Amino acid sequence: MPVLAAWSVALPELPDLADHVIGGKATVPAVELLELLVRTVAGQEGWAGRPPLPLAMTDVSFPRFLPADEIDRCTFEIAVEASDGALRATLTSRIALVGDMRRSRVHAGVTLGAPIAPPPRPPADLACAFELPAERVYRELIPFGPRYCNLRGTVRLGPSGGVARVRSPEPPRHPPPLASCPYLFDAAMHLACVWGQRYAGIVAYPTGFLARVLTKPTPAGERRCIVVPTRVEPRSLLCNLWFIDEEGAVCDAVIGLAMSPLAAGAPPPAWITAAKERE
């Protein structure tokens, strides 16, 4: 695809990065990199501050983590390519190493505006046989700090999927996000991670997704989230997830969310894989 343009960019200030820890290191959430890509394309395309709805994102990838302690030593570039009326945006970091060596890494990519079939509907009823409080999730399964502990209430799981409430932290971020609230999306992936720990026996992190259709952005607030696995393999998990608004309508659908464990990641604690389910 021909490159239309490339821009040097600065990462937005993210004062709560210390709360987002993966493999013992504070790490920039993938959802924040996605928001940066969408915001950059929106500004260049003159979308009057907000992308047109419904907003379709396809072929989204998060190939490399971005550790927080590398940000000040990196320069960042977003490149935009065009193909068949769609725009492909990628975020690359460059960092100086020893001597004259430099390292480049792609951290995120998204295609905007590609044709996409309507996403499937979430299941009307999901049988859940195992429950645990969200507080225990963050205390024992996903040890994040307060700003990223956004599953709320009771998390309900079953072999066919999971359901939970997700709520953005206070105060809400400013300016409001364009690609819906990153905290809510991040918390929805926590639900997928907990399901994977319980039923797949892996602690998995997002590496990308096939498609997302955003029909009603949620700058902040609370939504019900549903996660349904579609493929489970020894070192990978594929699932769909939906956000449901207060009127029962789907406002955000993510299809083909791919998740994998760290290369040297620890397995889930025994209690989550061995706990008895309700009859």
Q: What span, in angstroms and rounded, lies between the C-alpha atoms of 262 and 255? A: 22
- β-sheet bridge partners, residue 151: 166
Which pLDDT does position 52 carry in this prediction? Answer: 79
Q: Which tens digits make up the pLDDT trace of 2-47?
A: 667 888 999 988 889 999 999 899 999 999 999 999 988 887 766 6
CB 102 within 8 A of CB 35: no
Average pLDDT over residues 200-208: 96
The DSSP code sequence of 178-207 is SSS-HHHHHHHHHHHHHHIIIII---EEEE
Which pLDDT does position 213 carry in this prediction? Answer: 96
Q: Which tens digits make up the pLDDT trace of 256-279?
A: 999 999 988 899 999 999 877 765
Q: Which residues of 73-104 are buried (b: 16+ CB within 10 A; e: fewer)?
A: ebebebbbbeeeebbbbbbbbeeeeeeeeeee
Is residue 226's pLDDT more than 70?
yes
Q: Considering only CA atoms, which of 93, 97, 89, 107 is closest in space to residue 8?
A: 93
Which pLDDT does position 48 carry in this prediction? Answer: 55
Average pLDDT over residues 107-118: 92
Which pLDDT does position 110 carry in this prediction? Answer: 96
Q: Which tens digits make up the pLDDT trace of 159-177?
A: 999 999 999 999 888 888 8
Q: Which tens digits make up the pLDDT trace of 175-184?
A: 888 889 999 9
> Who wins on pLDDT, 44 or 115?
115
CB 168 within 8 A of CB 184: yes
CB 236 within 8 A of CB 178: no
pLDDT band at 50, cuts 50/70/90? Answer: low
Pairing, β 21-22 against β 86-96: unpaired
Q: Considering only CA atoms, which of 180, 107, 186 is closest in space to residue 145?
A: 186
pLDDT band at 141, cuts 50/70/90? Answer: very high
Q: Considering only CA atoms, which of 169, 193, 195, 192 is closest in space to residue 182?
A: 169
Is residue 49's pLDDT more than 70?
no
CA 68 to chain centre: 17
Q: Which tens digits make up the pLDDT trace of 79-101?
A: 999 888 889 999 999 987 766 77
Which pLDDT does position 190 carry in this prediction? Answer: 98
Q: What span, in angstroms and rounded, lies between the C-alpha atoms of 89 and 70? A: 22
Handedness of CA 89, 249, 257, 221 (dihedral sign): positive
For residue 19, CA distances in Å to 74, 128, 152, 187 come to 21, 30, 17, 13
Q: What tokens were used for 218? A: 């949620």
Average pLDDT over residues 130-139: 96
Is residue 53's pLDDT more than 60?
yes
Which pLDDT does position 113 carry in this prediction? Answer: 86
* φ and ψ at residue 198, rounded to 5 degrees: -70, -50
Is residue 127's pLDDT more than 60?
yes
CB 8 within 8 A of CB 75: yes
pLDDT band at 252, cuts 50/70/90? Answer: very high
Please give the domain boundaries of the chain with CATH numbers for all domains. Answer: 3-112 (3.10.129.10), 130-274 (3.10.129.120)
Per-chain mean pLDDT for the chain: 91
Q: What span, in angstroms and rounded, lies between the C-alpha atoms of 171 and 36? A: 20
